[in-house]
Structures are given as C-alpha cells and as structure tokens.
Amino acid sequence: MRIATWNVNSLKARLEKVVWWLDRVRPDVLLLQETKLGDTDVPRLALQTAGYDVAHHGEGGRNGVAVVSRLPIEDVVTNFGQPLSPARTDDAFDDEPFAEARMIAATVGGTRVVSVYAPNGRTVGSVFYDAKLVWFDRLARWLAEAADPAQPLVLGGDLNVAPTDEDVWDPRACHGGTHVSPPERAAIARLRAWGLEDAYRRHHPESARYSWWDYRAGAFQKNYGMRIDHLFVTPPLAARTVAAEIDREARKGKPIPSDHAPVVIDVDAPGHPFDAGWTSADARIAARRAGKKA
C-alpha cells in the first residue's frame, strides 16, 4: 500500500495538479489538507474518474481535510468525533480550531488513517499560538482514547511543526518563531511517545529535505524550507514500511503549485516508481547558495 499526505492549498485551484499527481505517483491513499471546500463542493467526479473515492470534512473557504482512496473508506470520524463548535469570532481565524475542519479519520484496507491540519499559530504567545497548543492536546487525548498503538495507524498531514533543527533550513533564522518553539516540539514528542514513528526519518536521516517553502524570495529554488508535513506511523506499520519520499517535483511547474510537497510512504512493497527530484536539485541548490554568499 502506498500512503501519501499533501496540503494542496485549495483543492479547487489545485485540482489539475492533484489529478496529474495521482496518475504520476499512484498512491492507494492520499490524505489532503487545506482543501478550502465545503463538503458539497468536493470535485468527486474528477476524483472518481481518476479511480478514487473521497471522504471530506470541510467548512468552505479555508481549512478542510480529506481521505482520498482507491480502496473502500470506512468508519469515518471527523473533528475528534464531535460536531464543529460554533465560531465566536468572525474577523479572526485559527483562534478557534474546534470550529474549524482540521481532522478526519477513516479505515482503509485494514489501516486506520488520520488526516490532520494543525493550526499555524502565527506568533509565539498569541491567542492563535495558544489555540494551536490546545488543539495538539486534544489530538493527543483522542489518540489515547480512540486508537491503539499496537494496531496499524497512520497520522498524516500538515502539522505546522518542524520537530528538530534538522527540519529547517536555518535554525538561527527560525529561532524564536512558531513551528520550532519548544512547546510545539513537545507536542510532537507527546504524539511520538504515545506510539508513533516518523516514517520519513526512518528511511531518510539526511538534512535539507523539506516539504514546505515560502512562495516568496526564491525560497524553493534556494531550498529555504521546513519539513512540517509528516506521516507518523504506529510500530506495526513502521516495521512494514519499505520506502519514503518527499516529492519535490510536485512543488514545481504550472499550474501554480501548492507551497507544500507531498510526502509518500510505501508499506510492504515498493509502489509505482517516480523521481522525486532531489538528486538533480542538490547541485543547483548548492550553486545558488554559493553564488549568494559570493
């Protein structure tokens, strides 16, 4: 089974790219984040034509998560099994994560898959940052209450946290900001302690491999990025993973790509081969950085 996660930054805007990528990489399961659609607006026909069913949890305009699968999708749970809370503020987002569509779980092919889109946090110490930590606490409690680390489970998505300094292009430049603060990293460590392994790191210990790059200032071309998109797996599934990759090529070309790249793992056997583009990019990235220093 091939399982992937991707923050597409609007499924409507990125639909052509998503359909292209499904054919290119051929995942069995794709966890989506930031679809920015209501449930009735999901392009189900286009996905079905590509061979996939979809379970979606959205609110329209922002956020939104989904499970896209070749296999039957069963036992769907959204928002930790609770209805979305009513929003108390209309002029600010990310401060009420339980009023936002950020979590969907389902069972696919005997594996529990969970697609999550963590709040950004914006600024350390802000109401948005505090809400992010509360949301992570709820995620950890839901895992403890509703899941079993002895069973195959994948927690995947845009977690908006780089777990270590190896997961950012420059720890000094990122120091003191969101995505790298000790409380955020502690929240990831708590999830790991419950019984989750970083499937990408199991196969790729090297640094300078990121899943998100700012659209501005040539960040992608210089590889100034962060690894904030993850596939965390329970021990029974970790032992079965045979490969992992971040598809850098999906961050390139037209139509305008998402600012995130898909993360992919293969379970039990290698999936359809594809070139993620890192080998060919390494020399170009080094040359650009050297030219800037000169």
Q: For the chain, what are the domain ranges?
A: 2-293
Instruction: Indicate whether 208 pLDDT > 70.
Output: yes
**Whole-prediction pTM:** 0.95
Residue 67's pLDDT is 98
Band the pLDDT of 291: cuts 50, 70, 90: low
Residue 294's pLDDT is 47
Q: What is the mean pLDDT of the chain?
A: 94
Dihedral sign for Cα 11, 24, 230, 141, please. Answer: positive
Q: 98-103: long-range contacts (C-beta < 8 A, 24 or more apart)?
A: 98/135, 98/138, 100/59, 100/62, 100/63, 101/57, 101/58, 101/59, 101/63, 101/64, 101/65, 102/63, 102/65, 102/135, 103/57, 103/65, 103/78, 103/79, 103/139, 103/142
Token readout for 180 is 């790298």
| CATH code assigned to 2-293 | 3.60.10.10
